[in-house]
Amino acid sequence: MADIRTLFEDSVRNALISFGLDFSSRTCIGAAVSGGADSVSMLTALSHVIPENITLKVITVNHNIRESSETEGDAVFVQDYCRKLGVQCARHDIPRGKVESLAREKDCGTEDAARRLRYEAFETFIRCSNLDFLCLAHNRNDQLETVLMRFFSGGDCNALSGIPCVREKYVRPILDLTRDDVEEYLRVQGISYRTDSTNFDTSFTRNCIRSRIMPMLNKEIPGWQTAVSSLRKKMEEDSLALESDAEEAMDQISWTESSEGVSFDRYFFSILNGALRRRILYRAIFAVGSDSRFPYRVVDSVSQRSKNPGRWAEEACGIQIFCHDARIFVQKRKKSATESGFFVIMEKSGRYCAGDWQIDVALQGNRTVLLCGKRDGEKSSLVLENLGFPFAFRSRQSGDQVRTSDGSFRTVAKILEDWKCGELRDEIPLVQELKSSGQSIVCIWGSVLGFKDWIVKG
pLDDT tens digits along 382-399 = 999 999 899 999 998 877
Helix (H, G, I), strand (E, B) or coil at 48: helix
Mean pLDDT value across residues 78-106: 91
Question: How far from 428 is each of 267, 332, 374, 396, 423, CA to CA, in Å?
Answer: 35, 19, 12, 8, 10
Among 99-113, 188-202, 257-271, 364-378, the range of highest mean pLDDT: 257-271
Nearby residues of 98 by Cβ (< 8 Å), 6 or more positions away: 64, 117
Rounded mean pLDDT, 242-258: 92
Q: At what angle do helices 224-252 and 140-152 cross, to 10 degrees?
A: 70
Q: How remote is the C-alpha of 66 from its chain's centroid?
A: 25
- Give SS3 for 339: coil
26 neighbors 54 (Cβ within 8 angstroms): yes
Confidence bin at 335 (pLDDT 50/70/90): low
Per-residue pLDDT tens digits for 427-458: 899 999 988 877 899 999 999 988 999 999 86
**Among 107-121, 181-195, 234-248, where is mean pLDDT lowest?**
107-121
Who has greater pLDDT, 234 or 106?
234
Taking only the tens place, the pLDDT of each residue in 21-63 is 988 888 999 999 999 999 999 999 999 999 999 999 999 999 9
Mean of the pLDDT values across residues 326-338?
Answer: 74
More confident residue, 277 or 344: 277
Contacts 24+ apart (CB under 8 A), 257-261: 257/287, 258/413, 258/417, 259/413, 259/416, 259/417, 259/422, 259/425, 260/329, 260/331, 260/413, 260/417, 261/287, 261/288, 261/329, 261/330, 261/331, 261/332
- Euclidean distance between CA atoms 140 and 210, whole angstroms: 12
**Rounded to an integer, what distance in angstroms lies between the CA atom of residue 268 and that of residue 288?**
21
**60 phi/psi in degrees, rounded to 5:** -125, 135
pLDDT (average), residues 269-288: 93
Q: What pLDDT shows up at residue 405?
A: 86
Confidence of residue 69 (pLDDT cuts 50, 70, 90): confident
Computed over every residue of the chain, the mean pLDDT equals 89
Amino acid at 201: D
- Among 146-150, 153-157, 295-299, the range with the most confident prediction by mean pLDDT is 146-150
Section 326-346 average pLDDT: 75
State residue 281's pLDDT score. Answer: 94
Top pLDDT among 258 and 381 is at 381
Q: Please give the model's pTM, rounded to 2 decimal places.
A: 0.66
Query: Looking at residue 398, what is its pLDDT?
Result: 74
Element (H, E) at 415: helix 412-418
- Residues contacting residue 217 through CB under 8 Å, at least 6 positions apart: 224
- What's residue 162's pLDDT? 92
Arithmetic mean of pLDDT, 124-149: 94
Percent of the chain with pLDDT over 90: 61
SS3 135: strand
Asked if pLDDT for residue 339 goes beyond 70, the answer is no
Residue 258 has pLDDT above 90, yes or no: no
Report DSSP letters for 342-401, one per residue.
Answer: -EEEE-SSEEEEETTEEEEEEEETTEEEEEEEETTS--EEEEEET--SSEEEE---TT-E
Flag whether pLDDT at 301 surpasses 60: yes
Residues 75-100: b if buried by 16+ CB within 10 A, e if exposed: bebbbebbeeeebebbebebeeebbe
CA distance 304 to 272: 11
